[in-house]
Structure 1
Amino acid sequence: MKKIFTGLCLTTMLWMATPADAATTQIKIDDVVVKSDTAPEQKNNRTMVPLRVISENLGAQVHWQDSQITLAMDQTTIKLNLNNRTVIKNGEKEQLDVQPYMKNNRTYVPIRFIAETFGSQVHYNQGTVNITTEPLLIEDEKIKVLRYEYHMTMGGVIQDIKGNAYHQALFKIFQEKKGDKVEAPKEYYWHFNLEAPGSYYKLGQFDFMSHDQNSVKQYDIYTLNQPFPEELLQGYPKVLLHDATEDNWYLFSEQAVKAIQQLINSADSNGFSKIISNTVA
């Protein structure tokens, strides 16, 4: 009798622990575990994730109007409404299995529908949602990682940024925000030169690396050393972009630099950044 009772308990426990669609414990995008202060949830055997996971790590632009959410990427647009299963995808109505909802000031949306609509592949493995996005191609080379390097007074930092959406977004800024081509500055360095008015300091180096660890494209951002009288700096642009691969120089903007830094900060906070070397004292 004791053996029968034990067997029944064990069967019940196994049945409870292995439903048709096991509870999701984490999300991986391009093999990176996404950091989030809010865990995914299961509703009607569908995985619901905070909207931030979509907007920051899949590269979708998000726009709110009242209770309607618009997600856009490339030529694809999705419109969803809180507490409503009807969704408009590229102008056509569809029905979701689970409606978006608000919980603890977080908006939850169905990850599979949105990810697949934006061209990503989704599969589940032992409680993990694995999402694979399209890699950035430069000169027909798939980009594996973006290596970002910057120096400070007493050392430097090298970090690798993963995630195809981050690669796409950063490369787009470099491509679209560069201004007119200009001549190379007479003096430019990795460090501050406080003895040379009109010299430039390298804010950061960005290497788009292939799977075999070769640099496919390198951009460097330089800023004007400014602790000089204003009359000595007239005519010097504040920010320059160096396409180191082609050895061409362009005007660049402070707004573009801020946009790049915001993406890097987002990658870091979401788990897509790894420090390779840190010699900062």
Structure 2
Amino acid sequence: MNNKFLGTGVALVTPFNSDLSVDHDALKNIVNYNIENGVEYLVICGTTGESVTLTKQEKKAVIKTISETNNGRLPLVLGIGGNNTAAVVEEIKTTDLSGIDAILSVSPYYNKPTQEGLYQHFKAIAEVSPIDIILYNVPGRTSKNMEADTTIRLANDFSNIIAVKEAGNNMAQYLELLKNKPEDFLVISGDDDLALGVVLAGGAGVISVIGQALPKDFSEMIRLGLKGDPKAAYKLHFKLIDVIGYIFEENNPAGIKAVFEALGLCADTVRLPVVPASSHLKEKIKAYLA
């Protein structure tokens, strides 16, 4: 089993200055804060990193800052996905993947392919990727669910497809994946609110949004779940559940950036079409953190 991705991975935000340029100093601080507080791996340029509004040059610079700050301490996962299969294949071929442990590739959005279309998309990616692949199913954003059967088929057919980040917020689908997956295939929760339940049912951990702001408690909760200590784990889960709700109340990453702003780690600046969290939501977050 690929132990690199057991536990808590965090989908890092991309902090911005008030002029909307990338705030590399804040990014370094966030990386160190997460490493020092016990997360197991870092995810670069995922949805939470606002990757769709970064230019190619900015993406390169973000990867460089995170890689250099990490300095080999934790495994790194890089988001490379999209809804144009040929373009995704080309990006994988032309990206310097040295120092990256796996690619996180989102299920195609907007086009609404069939299950066979999803299979063929990921088959094309698996055939060119020189490193491991984590599939990413997030129907709330893609408008198309990748069914458990399709994920299992890909897991069985391609040895470099090692995991799925499942974010359908659907416990029945998680359980179907856990029941039918190949033994060494990892089911990683993409739902912060369900992550502990998934781990207790046999999941490998989580790629978390809230985990990067409260890494100590969140990663400890997941470790306790992996150790089979539900009582202690749920104690932390109940402590975190309100703030998990808050950060997704309006938009991700506006919510998590509001938490970071309250913690003094980065500004709440986001790029359009995302707007910052409302003052009402910020008040709730501040009250929770206090």
TM-score (structure 1 length as normaliser): 0.25
- Structure having the larger proportion of residues in helix: 2
Higher relative contact order (Cα pairs below 8 Å, separated by 6+ residues): 2
Larger Cα Rg: Structure 1 or Structure 2? 1
TM-score (structure 2 length as normaliser): 0.25
